[in-house]
Chains A and B, each alone.
Chain A
Amino acid sequence: MVWLELLSDYTFQNVVIGASLLGLISGPLGCFAVLRRQSLLGDAISHAALPGICLSFIITGSRDIGGIIIGSLITGSAAALIMLMLTRLSRLKTDAALGACLSIFFAVGIVLLTYIQSTNNASQGGLEAFLFGQAAATLRSDLWVMGSITLVTLLLLAVFWKQAKLVTFDAEYARTLGMPITVIEASLTAMVALAVVVGLQMVGVILMAAMIVAPAAAARQWSRHLGGMLTIAAGVGIVSGVSGATISTLSRGLATGPLIVLTATVIVLISLALAPGRGLLWGVIKHYRQKSALQKQQLLYALYKHTADPSCTPSTLGSRRMLNKLKQQGYLTRSPRGDDGWGLTAQGQEEARRVVAAFEELAS
């Protein structure tokens, strides 16, 4: 009943659709950013959106979403360009240039924000909400704008799929083919700015970085192909958006943005642990399997080869758990050999002979 009520709730519908759109656009574009080793560029661009938002407010005098989008696109792209300029024309490294652009643009944003507050404009309320997002205030009209941006961005990506792919994985080869790689790189960066714009309302400028990085990082674990990775990233983005929004609505009062980000983080952790082939858990399990197989072989070898050696009794060679396990498998038995109540069964003798033969073949 709660669910039915929730689904027919107007605000909830808006938030869920908005969060899904955010996941749909930030996932795929994040993949390119992560693969091009520009994970933190999204962070810089989203912080740099703040002065754009404020500027558009100063110029238009309203919180009109169109103006805010254009403003944040301009300052976001400007920050990315200045970042590139700093690294190309001076000896600053990427990290310093990123940090400088991020913090200075944000500082300009703060200055403009306080300027707007000091001019005491009545309709300025809610500008600060863009810092952390204000999912509950999403309007239907905002959704149409966010939806169109998402659609256009994904279409552009589809049209320039081959070029984007080649520039991402082998920019030098793309250059020799005569592709305008600077243009393509710049557009991929500008598209990250578009994703940031969509996320402003939902998660705010501070946490947008995670929405670029997390779905892509999770998707990378599940797929070795760019297309698959993009699809999964979009899925992860949508799932974390929707679940974050739902938890936030059900808990009443917990901020939506952080919840979306935390959901995405949990999905990343699960992917790191469980993804087929790359998952860390499989590695750990494999390690222990090999270790116990080796112990078993050592034990059988010693029992078979050194029957006369009094120090080579089963209980000195293996742990109690190991012995019990071998007993269960039918290799050991508690009775026949008298020394400490453990001995090889017929099947154990057979297996031990095989191990010894295999080992000796290896040794020779």
Chain B
Amino acid sequence: MMAELLTTTALPIMLVGAMVGIASSAVGTFLVLRGNSMLSDAISHSIVFGIVIVWLLTKQQSGPVQLIGAALTGLLTVLLTEALASTKRVKQDTAIGLVFPALFSIGVLLLNIYANDVHIDTHTVLLGEIGFVWLDTLDIFGLPIPQALVSMSVMTVLNYAFIGLFYKELKLATFDPALAKTFGFMPSILFYVLLMLTSSTAVAAFDAVGAVLFIAFAIVPASAAYLLTDRLLMMFIIGALISIASSISGYYLAVYLNVSIGGMMAVMTGIFLMLAFLAGPRYGVITQLVKRQRARQAPVEPPPSV
């Protein structure tokens, strides 16, 4: 039964999509809360540089070396950005806009030069091919498990292990960095580890969804969750649920319309964000309008008589 399900293409693809979403929205939640969402944009572009460099050094296109390489590239991006911003000559957002296109350009040029030897093309870099994940499988317990599913599951476990272990510290560092610092939680180191996990997740998700769509999986479910709840724990749960729902609905829509599966899954995360934005039970635009209307129509209570 299980083997049968995995040999069909639909389930592995949806599972990979959901896993990409769950792993990315875990780290994305903190990025959204800290106001650093665009770092996911920067990281996902500059890991192209990291992937090419690691490939040049080790000839490995995936696997643990690539994950570590990506983590270091992510760290490099953030450190370069902060170094630029700390000169006080450019602002933080300008620094981001300077660093990642430069690293991305170097990556693309290196791909250009070694185009004949390397099996990564610029198309895959941007879009990925989630539709082909079932082609590359590993045998685990006699079941053909897609390699992308294995690496995404590893990243999901790693991300949630880190978040689970340092939940209290991360929470305080996110909502009150100054207090976290006085407690000796080293908020900046926690944040660097988080960004390294973000880049490793990005490179694991790379084959499946590419550089740009990763941003959608990292930021959009977390943003939608932010509009729906005030509790950190609920943000993770809602983010994961939206990821799963986007993955399933995106897959069937994409097959029906015969379009990019990864792209459609990302579009679905956007639909959920719009729904949360408009109809969220507490902060939704429509909800707010209705509330205001009701408040206006409610009879004014007469002041209590003395």
Show the binding face of A for B, using Cβ within 8 Å: 34, 37-40, 42-43, 47, 86, 89-100, 102-104, 106-115, 118, 128, 131-132, 206-207, 209-210, 212-214, 216-217, 220-221, 253-255, 257-259, 261-262, 265, 268, 272, 278, 280
Q: How far is the CB of A138 from chain B (nearest CB, A)?
A: 19
New A-B contacts (5) at CB < 8 Å, excluding given A40-B41, A206-B126: A39-B97, A107-B267, A113-B260, A206-B101, A210-B105
Contact A100 B258, CB 8 Å, known A111-B263, A132-B122, A262-B106: no
CA distance A346 to B41 in the complex (A): 66
Contact of B89 with A221 in the complex, beta carbons under 8 Å: yes
Name the B residues within 8 Å of A91 (CB-CB). Answer: 226-227, 283
Which among A86, A95, A262 is the interface contact of B36 at CB below 8 angstroms? A95
In the complex, which of the residues B87, B105, B106 contacts A280, with contact meaning CB atoms closer than 8 Å? B87
A127 to B40: give the CA distance in the assembly, Å. 26
With contact pairs A95-B38, A104-B216 given, residues A261 and B94 touching in the complex (Cβ less than 8 Å): no
Q: Are B87 and A272 in contact (CB under 8 A)?
A: yes
B36:A104 contact, CB within 8 angstroms: no
Is the CB–CB distance between A40 and B105 below 8 Å?
no
Complex: A212 Cα to B101 Cα, angstroms: 11
Give 23 CB contacts A-B under 8 Å.
A39-B94, A40-B97, A91-B226, A93-B37, A95-B35, A96-B32, A96-B222, A96-B223, A98-B38, A99-B41, A103-B213, A103-B215, A104-B273, A107-B216, A115-B257, A118-B259, A131-B126, A132-B122, A207-B104, A209-B101, A217-B94, A258-B105, A258-B106
Stretch at the interface among B14-22, B108-116, B160-168, B174-182: B108-116
Find out whether the CB atom of A254 lies under 8 angstroms from the CB atom of B260: no
**Residues in B87-133 with C-beta less than 8 Å from chain A:** 87, 89-91, 93-94, 96-98, 101-102, 104-106, 108-109, 112-113, 122-123, 126-127
What is the CB-to-nearest-CB distance from A250 to chain B, in angstroms, rounded to a whole number? 14
Residues of B within 8 A of A257 (CB): 105, 108
- Cβ contact within 8 Å between A255 and B38: no
Cross-interface CB contact of A104 among B105, B108, B220, cutoff 8 Å: B220
Contact A96 B219 (CB under 8 A): yes
A216 to B285, CA, bound (A): 37
The residues of B that contact A265 with a CB separation of less than 8 Å are 98, 101-102, 105
Within 8 Å CB of A107, what residues of B?
Answer: 212-213, 216, 263-264, 266-267, 270
The answer on a CB contact under 8 Å between B259 and A115 is yes
Given contacts A47-B212, A265-B101, contact A255 B226 (CB under 8 A): no
User: How many angstroms between the C-alpha atoms of A213 and B36 in the bound complex?
Assistant: 18
B288 to chain A, nearest CB (A): 8
Summarize A's interface: helix, strand, loop or mixed.
helix
Distance between Cα atoms of A337 and B277 in the complex (Å): 84
Q: Is B69 located at the chain interface by the 8 A CB criterion?
A: no
Q: Shortest CB–CB separation between residue A96 and chain B, in angstroms?
A: 4
Interface string of B265-290 (1 = CB under 8 A from A): 01101100100010000010100000
- B255: min CB distance to chain A, Å: 11
With contacts A96-B226, A207-B104 known, is A254 near B38, CB below 8 A? Answer: no
User: Which residues from chain B contact A47 at a C-beta distance below 8 Å?
Assistant: 212
Separation in Å of the B289 CB from the closest CB of chain A?
10
CB < 8 Å: which of A34, A100, A258 contacts B109? A258
With both chains docked as a complex, state the minimum distance between the C-beta of A254 and any C-beta of chain B, in angstroms: 5
B270 A104 Cβ-Cβ under 8 A? yes
Are B104 and A118 in contact, with the CB atoms below 8 A? no
Residue among A103, A206, A210 facing the most chain B CB atoms (10 A cut-off): A103
Bound-complex Cα distance A34 to B269 (A): 30
Q: Which residue of B lies closest to A208 (CB)?
A: B101
Complexed CA–CA distance, A43 and B42 (Å): 11
- Tell me the minimal C-beta distance from A115 to chain B in angstroms: 5
Q: For B222, give the chain A residue with the smallest CB separation.
A: A96
Q: A95: which B residues are within 8 A, CB to CB?
A: 32, 35-38
Contacts of A37 in B (CB 8 A): 91, 93
Residues in A whose Cβ lies below 8 Å from that of B262 = 110
Check if A111 sits within 8 Å of B260, measured CB to CB. Answer: yes
Contact for B38 among A99, A210, A278, CB less than 8 A? A99
Task: Give the complex CA separation of A115 and B263 in angstroms.
Answer: 11
Q: Which of A39, A95, A106 has the most CB of B within 10 A?
A: A95
Interface residues of B in 210-241 (CB under 8 A from A): 212-213, 215-216, 218-220, 222-223, 226-227
